[in-house]
Amino acid sequence: MQISFQRAIKITSDTNPIFSKEHKLDPATMAVVDTMKSTKSSVYDKETSRKIGSFLRAQIGDYNRQTGIYARRIKGEPYIFTGEEARKAREINAQAKKELIELEEEIRMEPGSEKLHKILRQNIFIRRDQNLLKMVEDGDNIEKPETKLFFNMDNSGRLTSIMYRHYRHVGEEFVTKKADLTI
């Protein structure tokens, strides 16, 4: 049985890299996520990249080249969005950018309210992040499954294994899917 989260999934790693770009995934995590696209990797050889990408695509189930992957940090945590949710996530981000541009135009027309404008900017980012997090499978309620990806990395930031876990209710039953890959 193929279980597909078809939303967004939080990525957990045993390394906690210090990364200065708040919204971008760290290079080690992004190199793993990129294997799903079957593009040439600067970190992994062709066979390892194929193995990782195939495993992730098989577990996630709804990845396709048209919608691609949308990956970002939200509140400091890495997430990936695939399938229809990748498209929705891009729309949410584009809407936030549009609102910021409109706000910047307003600021040019009405200077002097820097504190208010700063609050309005923060509210745009908060709203964007809340809308993105609503799509995450975090098991928040009985209808919403919980899905986890755990990347084990060595000291150089190369993947050593992946653990995939998916938990959901089907009627009165609790269904679990577990899959592991060791590199």
Question: What pLDDT, on a 0 to 100 scale, did the predictor assign at position 33?
Answer: 87
The pLDDT, as a whole number, for residue 16 is 57
Residue 68, pLDDT score: 82
Residue 169 has pLDDT above 90, yes or no: no
Residues 6+ apart with CB under 8 A from 63: 36, 56, 57, 69, 82, 83
Residue 155: both structure tokens together: 């000291």
pLDDT confidence of residue 15:
64
- pLDDT digit string (tens) for 55-72? 998 888 777 777 788 999
pLDDT in tens, 99-156: 999 998 888 777 777 788 889 999 999 999 999 999 888 777 677 788 889 999 998 8
Residues 168 and 148 sit within 8 Å (Cβ to Cβ): no
